[in-house]
Structure 1
Amino acid sequence: MKKLITLLIMIFSAGAYAQIEIPSSTNIGTSIPAASESNTGNFPAFRLKKEENTDNNFLKKEPKKLDFRETKNDLLTAGSVYEKKWKKDKEAKSEYKNDQYLGDFKTGGKFVEIYCRDHEFVDGDKVQISVNGTVVEPRVSLGSGYHPILITLASGLNNIEFEALNQGSSGPNTAELRVFDADGQPLAQKEWNLLTGAKASLIVVKQ
C-alpha cells in the first residue's frame, strides 16, 4: 500500500513539473512584430515630413505678374492693357491739313501685317483704311493698344491709305504705324499727325 501511495505522489509531481516547463507559446509559424505607435488601423506606417503638409502650397504663392515687355518685333504682347503715361497731343497745325506720304517698301510675300495705335493722348481718334481705293476698314478707333490689319497684296503697287475721320478731343489725329512682312520682319515704323479729312499713305510693292 505504501508503495502505491509513493508511486502516485511521484506521478503527480512529474505532471506538475511538466506543466511548468511548457513554453508560453506553441506557435511555430513566422512571428509578426507588433505594430509601431505611428501605425494606426490597416494603413502603412508613414509620416509627412515637417515641411510637407496637406495644404495646397500653390495657393499660398503670389501669382506671377504678367510680363508686358515688347517682343523681338517690338510689338507689345498685351498692348490693350499696356501701362504707359501718354504724352499730350501736339498742337493742331495748319500743315496737318496736307496728306502725308510715309514711303514705299518691297516684299515678296502675299500679305503684310499692319498695326496702328494712338501713341500720344488717347482721345478717340478714328481712321478709315483703304487699299488701292477699296475700303478695307471703314472705321478704326485708335486706342492705346495696337489694332491689327491683314492686307492681302496684289502684284505690283499697293497703295494703302489712312484717312483721318476726326481729330478726337485733343489736337490732331495721331497714330503710330508698324508694318511687317509675311515672315514677321519689320518693313516700316511711321507716325502721322492729321487734321480731319487728311490722309497718310504708304506703298507696298509686291515683287
Structure 2
Amino acid sequence: MKPYILCIVLFLFSLSNYAQIDSKKKSVAIPAVESKKNSSDITPSKPIPNSNNTFGMNRPKVSPSLEMPKKDFSMFPQEEFGNPGELYTKQVDKNLENIKLTPEEVEQRNGSSTDQYFGDFKSKAKFVNVVYRDHGYVDGDIIQVRVNDDIIHARVFLSGGFKGFKLDLKKGFNKIDFVALNQGESGPNTAEFKVVDDAGILVSANRWNLATGVKATIIVVKE
C-alpha cells in the first residue's frame, strides 16, 4: 500500500513543477498608449530669415549690376603671343637691330681670326730685346713665342708688367711669332710688345687682339 501512495505523491510533485516552469515562459502584454498629439499637430521649424549676418559673420553684398572684366589688365601692348617669351625676344631683336658693329669693332670684341703681320724693320744692331705684357685686364692670357719657326718659349703667362728675352740677330730675316694659346677669362688674347735694339732705340711697338690659335708676326732684318 505504501508504494502506491509514494507513486501518487511523486506524480503530483512533478505536475506542480511543470506548472511552475510553464508559468515562467508566459509573457505579460503591455497595452499601447496612444499619443495625445498627432504628427500633423507638429509645427514645422521656421526658415532662417534672409540676413547678411550668419552665425555672427557678415556676408558680402553682391551688387546685381557688377560686371567682371573680360580681359586681364596688362601693361604690355594688346598683342597675343603663343609663347610668353616671344614678347621679350622681339624686344631684344629690335634693340640688336640698332646696334651695327663695323668689322674692326667685331675684331676688337672677339679677337682677330686671321694672322696679323706688323711689318719688317731694318736694323744694324747685334741684338734686340723683345718684351711683352697684357695691355688689358690681366685675365690669364697665354702665348707661345717662336723665332724663325723655332719655339723659344712654349708657354708665357702675360702679366701687367713687361717681360721678354734677348734675341741675337742673324744676318737677314729674323721672324718673331707670338701665338695666342688662349683668350683668358674675358677674351680675346690681348698684348702689347716692344722691340728695342742694343742702343736702346725702339725698333717696333704694337698691340694685338687675337683669337685662340692665331699669331702676330714681326720681322727684323739685320743689314
TM range (shorter): 0.5 to 0.7
Percent of pairs with identical residues: 47
The equivalent of 2:213 in structure 1 is 197
The equivalent of 1:92 in structure 2 is 110
Deviation at 1:107, TM superposition (A): 0.8
The equivalent of 1:45 in structure 2 is none
* TM-score with structure 1 setting the length: 0.55
* 1:30-69 mapped onto 2 (5 Å cutoff): none
The equivalent of 1:206 in structure 2 is 222
The residue type equivalent to 1:169 in the other structure is E
The equivalent of 1:161 in structure 2 is 177
The residue type equivalent to 1:92 in the other structure is N
Deviation at 1:103, TM superposition (A): 1.1
The residue type equivalent to 2:221 in the other structure is V
The residue type equivalent to 2:181 in the other structure is L
What is the alpha-carbon distance in structure 1 between the residues aligned to residue 147 and residue 133 of structure 2? Answer: 19
Structure with greater Cα Rg: 2
**Unaligned stretches of 5+ residues in structure 1:** 1-89
The residue type equivalent to 1:130 in the other structure is R
Considering fraction of residues, name the structure with more helix: 2
Determine if the alignment matches structure 1 residue 178 to structure 2 residue 197: no
Give the number of equivalent residue pairs. 116
Deviation at 1:169, TM superposition (A): 0.4
Q: Which runs of 4+ in 1 moved over 3 A?
A: none
Q: CA RMSD in A?
A: 1.0
**Unaligned stretches of 5+ residues in structure 2:** 1-107
Can you list the C-alpha shifts for 1:101-134, whole angstroms capped at 9, x where unaligned?
A: 0111111112110110001111010100011111
What is the alpha-carbon distance in structure 2 between the residues aligned to residue 111 and residue 138 of structure 1? Answer: 21
What is the alpha-carbon distance in structure 2 between the residues aligned to residue 164 and residue 152 of structure 1? Answer: 24
The residue type equivalent to 2:158 in the other structure is L
The equivalent of 2:33 in structure 1 is none
Can you list the C-alpha shifts for 1:49-68, whole angstroms capped at 9, x where unaligned?
A: xxxxxxxxxxxxxxxxxxxx
Deviation at 1:197, TM superposition (A): 0.3
Deviation at 1:148, TM superposition (A): 2.0
For residue 91 of structure 1, give the secondary structure of its aligned residue in structure 2.
helix
What is the alpha-carbon distance in structure 2 between the residues aligned to residue 157 and residue 204 of structure 1? Answer: 6
